[in-house]
Structure 1
Amino acid sequence: MNRLILVLFLVFMFNNINAQVKQRPSKGKIERNKKQDTLNSSINKKLISENSGKEKKAKIQDYLIISHKKDTTYVDTTLTILKEYKFNYLRKDNFGLMPFSNLGQTYNSLTYNFHNTSLMPSFGARARHFNYMEVEDINYFRVPTPLTELMFKTAFEQGQLADSFFTINTTPQLNFSIAYKGLRSLGKYQNLLTSTGNFRFTTNYQTKNKRYWARAHMVTQDLLNQENGGLQDAMIENFENGVKEFLDRSILEVNFENAENILKGKRFHLEHNYSIISKKDSLSKNKLSIGHIISLKDKSYQYDQSSTNTSYFGNGFSSSGFRDRVTLENLYNQLQLNFSNNIIGDLQFNVSSNNYNYGYNKVVVLNGNTIPNRLKGNVLSTGGKYRKQFKNFELHGELGINVSGDFNGNFIKAHAIFKLNNDLSAIASINHSSKAPNYNVLLYQSNYTNYNWRSNFNNTETQQLVFQLKSKKIANIMVDYSTINDYTYFKRDATGIPEDEFIPIKPFQNNKTINYLRVKLDKEIKVGKFAFHNTILYQNTQDENNVLNVPQFTTRNTLYYSSHLFKKAMYLQTGVTFNYFTEYQMNDYDPLLAEFYVQTEEEYGGFPRLDFFINAKIRQTRIYLKAEHFNSAFTGYNYFAAPNNPYRDFTIRFGVVWNFFM
């Protein structure tokens, strides 16, 4: 209900503003409106003069989006094939991810990127984090006039997906934005409802002399999923054979219908910087500033079940309803000293503190062994950054190391860009990382006796080399090679378990080096109004223990037609997208941990997915209509997102993205 009220409020606010513009005001309101118009005009003229030079009218390029890394782009209302790929629940290209049947569930990863610059363990329940917005996912804005964006897309059965966004500059120096993405989807199978919400509030400010700037955000998130453990083994044959009776997916029996998990999080984040010595003109060579970052996050993961399911999870301490809940509180502070010189480049030295408190509100005694309930402490670290640009060459460097505390960790990163010409650029990077395993690998407690452990694993060490070639005329090519030592993973452990008895899932650490190669090609070919967009990924792993499993080939190919219609009043885009990945030992999913685990018994994949879409753009409105997986009935019912978890059947979905510039 709170989500619906917020969405309606944003829509009502826009309509109310529009109504004030369109309706003729009464005589008593004319003077007040003139004063307000004068104030708005003054703000807009200042913003426009700063962003557009001599332009008298705001352009689309004046509506700026500022990323966490301070890269600046502007609002894009065009309709492209890349927009088609991003029109989904995550609102980003999900190539390399295999979605489950219901919107808002998890994704099985078809590829992995081992680039890392974190010095602390990550929170567990990684399968719930695909839609969890981290600090790096939050953008800031600067706009000459108020901007609203409304996004809507149909879900599965009852429910819908909506994302509402509004931003305004009250002065040229101060911006606010507020946004909320909400989803509710019942799903086609039993006990598979999803209900998620992501609320964001941001602000950024800078003084007129630009010596001080600050930006901050507040994010609250709750991601709830009912869990059913997938189809029962006896139902797999009925699904794969396409038995007519079971085409109504709600009839298929699932492993349980009494469980749900939820990931919640709150974060308050502030970054600010003050220039002690600023560049007053282009001839100044030095700049010195101090910066500070403070970030407070509070996360929790909870699993509820009305009664234990011994056949799926094993025995429990109690057979009636129970709740497993784990929390993490983390306070992060960083002090920075920044120095810039025209010759040397940009240098930063920083000192950071991580105060963490992870754990449970109980102590478990299992087989005479006491499992503690807390990982708590403070980690101090230090690091630096470097950046230098010389003509067509740009160099970035970053490093960090933990100097005290219970967690060891370090990373070093180097990144070089060389622009050969206006079309062709080459990028090379190297990354080394040593980081403690995730918190839920180190400590876990549950009502189920098999899900209780306190591990003492080594740091996972990764080394990655990346080379990229970017060219619109030739292609975008990426090659990366990674070596991974002491890789941690989950897997069923049959050691000491009698035949035909339940095999529990436990965390493990690989004692062999994994070599992992990826080659990715992205190329679009255009002939007149037709285009053929291709994304092809090749992967190869050298892993004696078979714990990092990925498909050898993954491909997405789209053939589409684009044209203006009705005297260019509408822009139309229609085509077919083909998705495919080769068979491999796909990871299985554990709903209690909200984690994927390694299985090597069966291979999955090798099925095509065909989507037909018709998209249109009318002014600032983009309309999306898609027939998803329309080939499901005639290419075989062998499509799974994970063992016992089918992918989606054929369905037709509709959506819209609508921008308002006031």
Structure 2
Amino acid sequence: MKQLFPLLFLLVLPTLVFSQIRKLDKGLGGFNGVNQSTDSLSNDEINVKLSGKTKYTDYKVISHTNDTTYIDTTLTIQKVYKFNFRRKDNFELLQFHNQGQTFNNLAYDFNSVSLFPDIGFRAKQFNYMNIEDIDYYHVPTPTTEIMYRTGQEQGQVLDALFTLNFSERLNVSVAYKGLRSLGQYRRSLAATGNFRTTLSYRTPKEQYAIRAHITTQDFTNQESGGLTEAMLQNFIENDPNFIDRARLDVNLNNTENLLEGTRLYIDHNYKVFSSKDSTSQKDFSNLKIGHVLTYENKTYNFIQSATTDFFGEAYTSGALNEGTKNRITNNQGYLEFNSKYILGRFKVKTNYTDVSCGYDSVYNPNSDIPKIKLKGKAVSFGAEWNGKIGNFQVNADATVAPGSGHLAGNYLKGDALYKKDSLFTVKGSLLISSKAPNFNFQLFQSTYDDYNWSNNFTNVDTRNIGFSFDSKWGSASLDFTNIEDYTYFDEANSPQQFGGSITYLKVKANKEFKYRKFALNNTVMYQNVSNGSTVFRVPEFVTRNTLYYMDDWFKGKPLLVQIGATLNYFTKYKANAYNPLLAEFTLQNDTEIGYPTLDVFFNARVRRTRIYFQIDNVTSGFTSKNYFSAPNYPYRDFSIRFGLVWNWFI
């Protein structure tokens, strides 16, 4: 995987003298074709100076759900929040000290839809790019984006994207995000890679259309197991002999884990007749027959040069490389059309899915696991509807996979959205799903005696109701979730299924106050777990408050500066512990964490280049050493980061 980066660099290098790109946040709804951006940015705000008849709105970024946004080279506080190796806002996550490592959860999101279980090892997948994370492009000229950011102790992340249209109907993009960062503590090296390439094409009369992507991703982490008990005390007491964090001993010195994934995705359709045909276009139009192929492999490896007693007794004392393999092949056929009788677009679909997850051999002959692979085939049926009545938009998606076993399940997802011009948007959503737990809950084996199990868990049933309000005056959201038969890893690192019901409430609000050249951006989140708090734990309050100054400097306004500080805080709670063998977070009842951090930044924009300077955890030098990402894993100390995002257009 890492060998692809030099090839990508050679492909991008000839264009670096000319071009680059940055996308806006995605739009609000998905309908057939592409939607206009919901952002009200002017040409000057976008800051794309183009000649001739080319406009900034010609540079399109198209999401998996066909929402369309435009290239954005502005400098905003939201860009600061997303300037990290994931390129997403991490407000609901608690990051470990080194970029490229995992995250603990400060909150949970149950709005995503998945009919079948995944391989698991969720701590390794925060930076994994799923199907919905891949964007497609439509640009009048070759376009490039470079994002660079320094890491912790000898490291950096570089995300490079190049896209061009060979014609008005054919677009190709290629991108690679590579990260390598040593970290401040022992055995915290992170090395990751995300390669993706996309293609979208339609025939001259738009009768046939195809879009496809290929991704190959790998995530390697050295694992320390956290500080030893003696070194943990030295850290908390701020022993001056251990200001150099590399002097602190850790529990594991020979361990690493690796997650790799490869995916091929193809969505193509043939339009039997369109709205331009003579066939009752007002009643029935745009009939399409389509096919979607998804082929994806994921592999997780746990590697040690010799076993240790940190994970308990082991069958052998030698080196080990334990691999779990997951393969899914899904073929979907669908029929789609528009009709005035259904007020929009309707789609019926059927899927044939083939899944295999497990191991190639037995790692521990002393275990009594009856099988080393989970295999199955499933046929599922579903439908989608997208309707519009005036300012109302309604979307619904339902699928059911009948039968029993680990591939049986169903889901129903719907949302209704009302948009009042550019004043406000109100949205309500509903999700009901039933699916089997991830495969590592159902089947796991290891050389270590305590890490072998085969379970016949029932499906996890999730019901989520959400409301959101977004306006120029502020935004707010409310999510109410009920979970039956929730699965988790207990204090002994064993998979369990909760016999009761979990009731989870999450309320979040954001408001920015402005006065002349100053602004105060506030995000507050309240959470409550009324049932099931013994196994489902979150902090009650999480806040982020950013005070900043923003102004154009010098004659002619060549430089836009942004100077400020961000205070993050969450209340104390018994955060989950991290297990590097499972690559999962487990329950623990000994340690509470919760603390404030203060980050200072100086950012600037020169033409289409955004430059970022940030000082993380500036108060760590004189405050108590109570900041942790998980028990035994300290959060980062005072550190200075630099980076930029550069957009070029030929």
With normalisation by structure 1, the TM-score equals 0.90
Indicate the percent of aligned positions where both proteins have the same amino acid: 45
Matched residue type, 2:569:
Y
Find the aligned partners of 1:283 and 1:454 in 2 and give their Cα distance: 56
Report if aligned partners of 1:357, 1:375 keep a CA contact under 8 Å in 2: yes
1:91 aligns with 2:87: yes
- Cα drift, residue 4 of structure 1: 4.9
Q: Secondary structure at the match of 2:15?
A: helix
Paired letter, 1:562: M
- Secondary structure (helix, strand or coil) at the match of 1:169 reads strand
What displacement does 1:366 show? 5.8
Partner of 1:67: 63
Alignment pair present for 1:131 and 2:120: no
- The answer to whether the aligner puts 1:211 opposite 2:198 as a matched pair is no
Q: Please tell me whether the aligned partners of residues 3 and 197 of structure 1 are also in contact (alpha carbons under 8 angstroms).
A: no
CA distance in 1 between counterparts of 2:367 and 2:152 reads 48
1:414–1:234 CA distance, 2 compared to 1 (3 A): same
Structure 2 partner of 1:569: 558
Structure 2 unaligned residues grouped into runs of 5+: 20-50
Q: Report 1:3-152 matches (<5 A).
A: 4-6=5-7, 8-15=9-16, 56-152=52-148
Q: Match of 1:13, SS?
A: helix
- Aligned counterpart, 2:317: 319
**Does the alignment pair 1:356 with 2:355?**
yes
SS at match of 1:104: coil
Question: What one-letter code is carried by the residue in structure 1 that aligns with 2:331?
Answer: N
Name 2:568's counterpart in structure 1: 579
Q: Name 1:229's counterpart in structure 2.
A: 225
Supply the distance in 2 between the matched residues of 1:226 and 1:93 (Cα, whole angstroms).
25
Q: Distance in 1 between matches of 2:581 and 2:124?
A: 11
Shift of 1:123: 1.4
Give distance in 2, aligned partners of 1:368 and 1:132. Answer: 32
For 1:15 and 1:562, how far apart are their aligned partners in 2? 29
Q: Distance in 2 between matches of 1:601 and 1:92?
A: 31
CA displacement at 1:365 relative to structure 2 = 6.3
- Root mean square deviation, CA, Å: 1.6
In the TM superposition, what whole-angstrom CA distance separates every residue of 1:187-226 from its partner, at most 9, and x where no partner exists?
1111111110000100100112122211000000110000
Q: 1:372 deviation in Å?
A: 1.0
Cα 1:446–1:160, aligned 2, differ >3 Å: closer, same or farther? same
Secondary structure at the aligned position of 2:235 is classed as helix
In structure 1, the partner of 2:528 is 540
After superposition, the Cα gap between the structure-2 partners of 1:378 and 1:60, relative to the gap in structure 1 and judged at 3 Å, is: same
Counterpart of 2:432?
432
Rg: which structure is higher?
Answer: 1
Q: CA deviation at 1:285?
A: 3.7
- 2:9 is paired with a residue whose SS is helix
1:32 aligns to what?
Answer: none
Out of 284, 287, 293, the residue aligned to residue 286 of structure 1 is: 284
The structural deviation recorded for 1:141 is 0.2
Does the CA contact (< 8 Å) of 2:16 and 2:144 recur in 1? Answer: no
Match of 2:393 in 1: 394
Runs of 4+ in structure 1 displaced over 3 angstroms? 15-18, 281-285, 363-368
CA contact (8 A) 1:6 1:180 kept: no
> Is the deviation greater in 224-233 or in 339-348?
339-348
Matched to 2:426, the amino acid is A
Structure 2 CA distance for partners of 1:481 and 1:423, relative to 1, 3 Å: same
Taking the TM superposition and a 5 Å limit, the aligned residue runs for 1:611-650 are 611-650=599-638
Q: 1:548 to 1:368 in 2, by over 3 A?
A: closer
Q: How is 1:149-548 mapped onto 2 (pairs within 5 angstroms)? A: 149-280=145-276, 284-287=282-285, 288-310=287-309, 312-344=310-342, 345-363=344-362, 369-404=368-403, 406=405, 407-473=407-473, 475-493=474-492, 505-544=493-532, 546-548=534-536
Distance 1:361 1:10 in 2: 38
Contact 2:364 2:448 in 1 (8 A): no
SS at match of 1:5: helix
| Structure 2 counterpart SS, 1:441 | helix
Q: Distance in 1 between matches of 2:16 and 2:181?
A: 27
Equivalent position amino acid for 2:434 in 1: S
Asked if 2 retains the 8 angstrom alpha-carbon contact of 1:512 and 1:545, the reply is: no
Decide whether aligned partners of structure 1 residues 242 and 214 sit closer, same or farther in structure 2, where only a CA change above 3 A counts: same
TM-fit CA distance, 1:6: 3.4
Question: What do the CA deviations read for 1:273-299 (whole angstroms, capped 9, x no partner)?
Answer: 111121118964422111110011111
* Aligned mate of 1:590, from 579, 583, 588: 579
The runs of 5 or more residues in structure 1 that have no matched partner are: 19-54, 494-504
Spell out, residue by residue over 1:298-344, the C-alpha distance to the aligned partner (whole angstroms, 9 max, x if none). Answer: 1100010011111x200111111111101011111111111211231
* Alignment check: 8 A CA contact 1:364 1:371 kept: no
Write the distance in 1 (CA, Å) between the matches of 2:242 and 2:373. 47
Structure 2 distance, partners of 1:419, 1:5, is 46
Cα offset for 1:56? Answer: 4.0
Deviation at 1:586, TM superposition (A): 0.2
Distance 1:57 1:238 in 2: 65
Q: CA deviation at 1:405?
A: 6.3
User: CA offsets per residue over residues 151-174 of structure 1, 9 Å max, x none?
Assistant: 111001112110111000000000
Note the alpha carbon deviations across 1:605-627, whole angstroms, 9 max, x for none: 1x111111011011110000011
Residue 115 of structure 1: how far off its partner (Å): 2.5
Residue type of the partner of 1:535? T
Separation in 1, partners of 2:399, 2:607: 47
Over 3 Å counting, the alpha-carbon distance change for 1:80 and 1:116 in structure 2 is closer
The structural deviation recorded for 1:371 is 3.4
Q: CA deviation at 1:119?
A: 1.1
State how many pairs are aligned. Answer: 612
User: 1: CA distance between counterparts of 2:355 and 2:371?
Assistant: 16
AA aligned to 2:453 is W
1:111, 1:550 within 8 Å by CA — same for their partners in 2? Answer: yes
Structure 2 residue identity aligned to 1:296: Y
SS in 2 for 1:319: coil
- The structure-2 alpha-carbon separation of the partners of 1:467 and 1:349, relative to structure 1 and needing over 3 Å to count, comes to same
Q: 1:601 aligns with which of 577, 590, 605?
A: 590
Mapped to 2, the partners of 1:187 and 1:620 lie a distance apart of 31
Deviations 1:85-138 (A, max 9, x none): 111010011111111011100000110112242110111110000001110100
Which SS does the other structure have where 2:446 is aligned? coil
Q: Which amino acid aligns with 1:447?
A: T
TM-score, scaled relative to structure 2: 0.92
SS in 1 for 2:329: strand
Q: Secondary structure at the match of 1:245?
A: helix
Mean Cα displacement is larger for which, 398-407 or 366-375?
Answer: 366-375
- In structure 2, the CA distance between the partners of 1:56 and 1:661, relative to structure 1 (3 Å rule), is same
